[in-house]
């Protein structure tokens, strides 16, 4: 593919949580389709972002920036660095998030509740506050994608904090689509089922599905994960989410706003 080609050619994307599995895969996918990416993550993740940058055919297409979504000022600084480097922002993927072990509501520590809301909800709010002033000045329109979950469509036991944040993003996307629409901007959510990343396939989370095992592995939970879906898979890949984000970021989705795109192998249809 030559310069100027691709489904998001010439666009500049701002991604939070860019060092993780979904974030890094999405950054590479957008760059492969002609975008440049402002890749933000915590200071502790800058080594991962540097490695991601060096893995690219054109490392100049990615700008690694340290930012904590719970800190509005650090996000504003990251936006300023991105605009200084690339001139504008066209796409925002609010992807940073955490998934912590939870118990029934009466047993959830306040610290767990506060941490999940600080990153998954307030972090997205901060991302919008930092980026919307730039997006509203973009004469070509813009696309904002909020990383929700199937938990944003249907709740499940022992996930009060996580479900609260992912459900809230549905309302924010609809609200912000009203606010950004007059400026040519679109706001949508993505709702993946379990994705095969460390965020999901870690020991603590796997024990929720196999409490009979002290140290379950991904192989031990395949059947349990499959039961929740119509298609015969336990979880999806990061590429599946990246492809959905690419579509929503591209002009192929130019009239799609306030929508909620499931990438879930039929799990929300199966369980309602």
The span from the CA of 14 to the CA of 36, in Å, is 9
Query: Residue 59: exposed, middle, or buried by beta-carbon count in 10 A (0-12, 13-18, 19+)?
Result: middle
- Tokens standing for residue 245: 């984000």
- Give the N- to C-terminal CA distance of the chain in Å, as an integer: 42
The DSSP bridge partners found for residue 102 are none
Tell me the β-bridge partners of 191: 262
Rounded Cα distance, 138 and 144, in Å: 13
Quickly list H helices, the chain: 21-32, 46-54, 72-86, 110-120, 122-135, 160-180, 203-209, 218-226, 238-249, 267-271
Residue whose C-alpha is closest to residue 246's, from 162, 190, 169? 190
Is residue 221 exposed (0-12), middle (13-18) or buried (19+ Cβ within 10 Å)?
Answer: buried
Q: Report the relative pairing of strands 62-66 and 12-15 from DSSP bridges.
A: unpaired
Catalytic residue among 14, 93, 132, 162: 162
Whether 162 is catalytic? yes
Cβ contacts of 71 within 8 Å, gap of 6 or more? 126
Q: What positions carry a catalytic annotation? A: 162
């Amino acid at each position: 593919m030559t310069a100027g080609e691709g489904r998001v050619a010439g666009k500049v994307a701002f991604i939070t949580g860019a060092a993780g599995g979904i974030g890094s895969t999405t950054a590479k996918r957008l760059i492969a389709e002609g975008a440049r990416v402002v890749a933000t993550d915590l200071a502790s993740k800058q080594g991962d972002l540097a490695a991601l940058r060096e893995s690219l055919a054109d490392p100049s297409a990615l700008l690694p920036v340290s930012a904590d979504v719970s800190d509005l000022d650090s996000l504003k600084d990251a936006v300023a660095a991105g605009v200084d480097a690339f001139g504008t922002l066209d796409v925002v993927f609010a992807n940073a998030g955490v998934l912590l072990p939870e118990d029934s509501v009466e047993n959830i520590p306040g610290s767990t509740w506060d941490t999940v809301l600080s990153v998954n909800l307030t972090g997205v709010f901060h991302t919008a506050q930092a980026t919307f002033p730039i997006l509203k000045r973009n004469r070509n329109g813009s696309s904002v994608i909020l990383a929700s979950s199937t938990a944003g469509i249907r709740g499940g036991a022992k996930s009060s904090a996580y479900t609260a944040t992912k459900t809230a993003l549905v309302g924010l996307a609809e609200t912000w689509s009203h606010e950004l629409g007059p400026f040519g901007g679109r706001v949508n959510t993505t709702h993946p089922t379990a994705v095969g990343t460390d965020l999901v396939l870690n020991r603590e989370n796997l024990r929720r599905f196999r409490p009979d095992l002290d140290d379950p592995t991904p192989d031990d939970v395949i059947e349990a994960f499959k039961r929740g879906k119509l298609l015969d898979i336990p979880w999806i890949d990061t590429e599946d989410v990246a492809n959905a984000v690419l579509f929503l970021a591209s002009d192929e989705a130019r009239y799609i706003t306030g929508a909620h795109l499931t990438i879930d192998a039929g799990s929300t249809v199966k369980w309602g």
